Structure formats: C-alpha cells, structure tokens
Amino acid sequence: MSVSSATLMTEGPIWKRIISFAFPLFWGNLFQQLYNTVDSLIVGNFIGNAALAAVSSSSSLIFLLVGFFNGIAIGAGVVIARYFGAQDARQLKLSIHTTVAFGTICGLALTFVGIFAAPQILILMGTPAEILPSSITYFRIYFTGSLAFVMYNFFVGILQSVGDSRHPLIYLVVSSVVNIILDLILIGVLHFNVGAAALATVISQFISAFLCLRQLLKSPNEFRLELKDLRMNREMLRQILINGLPAGFQNSIISVANVFVQANINQFGAMAVAGCGAYSKIQGFVFLPITCFSLALTTFISQNLGAKQYDRARRGAVFGIVCTVTAAELIGLFAYILAPRLIAVFNNTPEVVAFGTTQARTETFFFFLLAFSHCMAGILRGAGKSLVPMVVMLIFWCIVRISYITVVIRIIPVIQVIFWAYPLTWTLSSAVFLIYYRRSDWVHGLER
C-alpha cells in the first residue's frame, strides 16, 4: 500500500512517530483554541459582560451536542486506523465511505435538534434572564453550521487515522484566520451583536470542512474518497458504532456533567458566568497537549495492534502518558501563577477576575490527573476497549460529580464547592484507570 501523504506508525522510532504526529495536532488545536478565544475577547471587549456571559453559557451545551458525534468520529478513526495498519485496502476504503455517509446524516440531524431545542434547553439550565435572548441567538446561529462541524471532525478523523495530521493543521490555520477577520469586521467595525460571533465561526468551519473534503478526494487511491461510492455498509457501520458510540456517550456524559455544573454556576450571577467562561478559555490552552497526545495514542495503538505489534503498542503507551502528564502539569502551574492577569485579558472587571482566578487556582494544580485519565481513554479506545473509559467517566465524571455538587452545595453554598468537583473526580478516575492498565490484557482487545 502506498503511504504518500500518510504515515504508518508501525515503523520507525516510537518517540519520533508519536511526536511527529502529535506536533501538527498541537498547532492545529492551538489555532482552534485561539480563534475560540478571539470570539470571547472580541465579544467581551466590544459588546460587554452580558454578551461574554451569553457565549460562555452556551459553550457546555454546544459541546454536549457536538461532542457526541465527535466521539463517533473518533470511533470511526479507530476502525480506519486498524485497517490502515493491517494494510487491508478493501476494508479501508469501505470504512472511509461508510464513515462519510453516516457523518452526513449525523450533521443534518444535529442541525435540526440544535436550532429547535435551544430555548428549552437553555431555560432548563437556568441561564440568567438578562443573557437568555443573546444565548439563544448565539446557539441557534452556531447550529446552522452543524453539518460543517460534524463533517470536519469526521474528515479530520479519517486523515489522522492514516497518519496525516499535517493537512488538518493547514486547513485549521486558514479557517482560524478567516474567523478572526470576520469577528473583527462584524463586531469590531460593524458593531453587530453576539450572533455575529457565531456566524463567523460557522463560515470558517464550512471553509475547513470543504478543504478537508477536497484533500480526501485527491488522496492516494488506497484511501481516496469517491463520492459515487458513498453508502453505508451494515457490517462496517456496526464496527464504527461499536467503537464510536461509547466514545460519543463518553463525551456526552462529560458534557451532561458540565451542563449541570454550568447550571449551578449560573445561580451565582452573570459575573460568575463571565469569570468562569474566561477561565474555560485558559483551560482550553492547557488541554492542548492532553488532546494531542491522547489522539496520537489512539491512532498509534490502533495501527500497531492492527499490525499485531503488541510490544510496540505497550512502549508507545508508556511514552505518551509520560509526555502528556508532564506537559499538562507544567502548563497548569504556569496558569496557576498568572491566573489573575490571564483572566483580566478577557474582562478586567474585578468581580469577573476574582471568580475566574478562584476557579483557576482550585483546578490547575491537578491537571496531571486530567491528562492521565484522557491518555488512558485514548489508549483503550485504540485497543478496541472504548466501553471501559465510557463506564469510568460515567461513574466518576458524571454520577459522582453531580452527586457531590448536589449534596455539598446545599451544606456549603459557595462557588468553590463547584470548582472542587473537578480535581476530586479526576483523582478517582485516574486511580481506576491505573488499576485497570496494570491488571488487564488491553493489548489483545481487538482480537477478542
């Protein structure tokens, strides 16, 4: 099989393969985080606190809906990487075309749900009345681009599964620049409201999805997308769903808990919403190495197990965990020290800065635990054991987190109680993952 424009991670030095794959992912995610941050910076500085709070109150809900389908895209990537590692050209093409056909249906379904369910869901979350109209506007415009958001993630999942993390980086940089320019024109110059930020994001996402599609249409024959061959193969769809549904539910589980957390933060008012929203942008930057290495590990593990290189898969897992945990903690300590200044960049209102700084200094010291849990989830997904991280995160990141907040906030009604929910549940999930990793034969998951 030709591997031009793609990378077999079953050959060469382990550290070089993982880092060379993760590095473009890092820069791509950095640009994505930058243009998400620019949205908040421009909205907060040009429109005001209420608009920033409206964008912040929608973010966890957006991830709830988009995250489910992104999880399915990850599962599809595991199947594709497996056949790419095994150099099975027929099954590889079949998996790619089934993935794209199914992704199109998912994107259209999400458009309908996002647009029509927005007001009811935001009201159920307890969104403050003064920002509810702006939140609904932002949410509805954002979800008119659902097809682009979903297909972009499915396209990127395909490219990354065959070892191509360079082209997604280029396309993300292009869309990020477009998004920033549109934000500055629509909000900074023309003084449109918060809906313009959502519109800029939608347009930029359609551009990145189109560029990914174009790349797949001209890829090497072994994994080229042929529009005339788009159809869903029942057996291949079953494999994709077996791997993807647990990852999708995992994302949704985390999002359900975050929506619950956001609803509790909303009770402390618009300043708390704005401050915590600013901190979430900072956390997004800290999360970059975690995302990149966990995705790289999923592809690395899946390709190597597909090629039956079990010892190489084990050694790659250890290397990825060490790199990710170290990087996340170093960046977390940096964020801990500079938290007040970083929050003030988004909004220098003293109350907003105080809320954001309090959350940052509660959570950032524990980012090594967050990194370890996500690495283990990536490894197990690559090994075909995506049910394990789903169950672990359902128990600790959803049930335990929600139960803790529900009980303790009634006894100690301060916002710090909400912030501590994250380090506590990261600790518990990491402990369980460590026990499972040491005692299970996870490398033979695909064979069984």
Q: What is the 3-state secondary structure (H, E, C) of 71-110?
A: HHHHHHHHHHHHHHHCCCHHHHHHHHHHHHHHHHHHHHHH
Q: What is the pLDDT of residue 60?
A: 62
pLDDT at 88 over 80: yes
Contacts 24+ apart (CB under 8 A), 8-16: 8/84, 8/85, 8/163, 8/303, 9/85, 9/163, 9/299, 9/300, 9/303, 9/304, 10/85, 10/303, 10/304, 10/307, 10/309, 10/312, 14/300, 14/312, 14/315, 14/316, 14/319, 15/319
Between the alpha carbon of residue 290 and those of residues 26, 283, 329, 332, 385, the distances in Å are 9, 11, 10, 12, 20
Residue with tokens 């709830």: 64
Query: Among 314, 246, 306, 247, which Cα is nearest to 446's?
Result: 306
Using CA atoms, how far residue 179 sits from 60, 182, 213, in Å, is 20, 5, 19
Q: Specify if 9 maps to a domain.
A: no
Lowest pLDDT segment from 146-150, 183-187, 234-238, 250-254: 250-254
Looking at the structure of the chain, the number of domains it has is 1
- Looking at residues 278-284, what average pLDDT do you find? 83
pLDDT in tens, 350-404: 899 999 999 999 999 999 999 999 999 999 988 888 889 999 988 999 899 999 9
- Cβ atoms < 10 Å from Cβ of 234: 7
Model confidence band, residue 52 (pLDDT cutoffs 50, 70, 90): low
Answer whether 52's CB lies under 8 Å from 43's CB: yes
Whether residue 131 lies inside any domain: the answer is: yes
Range ranked top by mean pLDDT from 35-39, 129-133, 221-225: 221-225
Q: Which of 298, 443, 281, 430 is nearest to 368 (CA)?
A: 430
Tens of pLDDT, residue by residue over 317-326, are 999 999 999 9
Inter-residue contact 310 to 88 (CB < 8 Å): no
Check residues 4 and 356 and name the one with the higher pLDDT.
356
Higher pLDDT, 251 or 272: 272
The answer to whether position 4 is within a domain reads no
Per-residue HEC secondary structure of 352-416 comes to HHHHHHHHHHHHHHHHHHHHHHHHHHHHHHHCCCCHHHHHHHHHHHHHHHHHHHHHHHHHCCCCH
Each residue's pLDDT tens digit, 419-443:
999 999 999 999 999 999 988 888 7
pLDDT at 406 over 90: yes
pLDDT above 90 as % of the chain: 30
Task: Identify whether the C-beta of residue 176 lies closer than 8 Å to the C-beta of residue 96.
Answer: no
Say what the alpha-carbon torsion angle 344, 347, 352, 355 is, to the nearest 10 degrees: -50
Stretch 8-15: mean pLDDT, rounded?
Answer: 82
Structure confidence at residue 5 (pLDDT): 43
| Rg of the Cα atoms in the chain | 21
Measured distance CA(266)–CA(125) in Å, rounded: 8
Q: Which of 8-12, 23-27, 43-47, 409-413 has the lowest mean pLDDT?
A: 43-47
Nearest to 377 by CA among 47, 62, 75: 75
The 10s digit of each residue's pLDDT in 110-156 is 888 878 877 787 777 677 777 777 778 888 888 888 899 889 989 99
447 inside domain? no
Q: How far apart are CA 265 and CA 115, in angstroms?
A: 24
Least confident of 45-54, 315-324, 329-338, 378-387: 45-54
Higher pLDDT, 330 or 51: 330
Lowest mean pLDDT among 125-129, 180-184, 202-206, 272-276: 125-129
Percent of the chain residues past pLDDT 70, beyond the cut? 90
Q: Per-residue pLDDT for 2 more than 50? A: no
96 falls in which pLDDT band (50, 70, 90)?
A: very high
The sign of the torsion formed by the CA atoms of 279, 281, 285, 288 equals positive
Quick one: pLDDT band at residue 4, thresholds 50, 70, 90?
very low
> Taking the model in full, what pTM does it have?
0.75
More confident residue, 253 or 399: 399
Which one has a higher pLDDT value, 270 or 447?
270
- Supply the pLDDT for residue 61: 65
In a domain, 8, yes or no: no
Instruction: Tell me phi and psi for residue 276, to 5 degrees.
Output: -70, -30
pLDDT tens by residue, 294-310: 888 988 998 898 888 98
Per-residue pLDDT reduced to its tens digit, 282-294: 887 778 788 888 8
Determine, yes or no, domain membership for 37: yes
Q: Is residue 428 part of a domain?
A: yes
Q: pLDDT value at position 50?
A: 67
| Spatial separation of the C-alpha atoms in residues 131 and 43, rounded to whole Å | 13
- For 311, the domain range is 14-442
How much is the pLDDT for 430?
96
Confidence of residue 3 (pLDDT cuts 50, 70, 90): very low
Q: Is the residue at 195 inside a domain?
A: yes
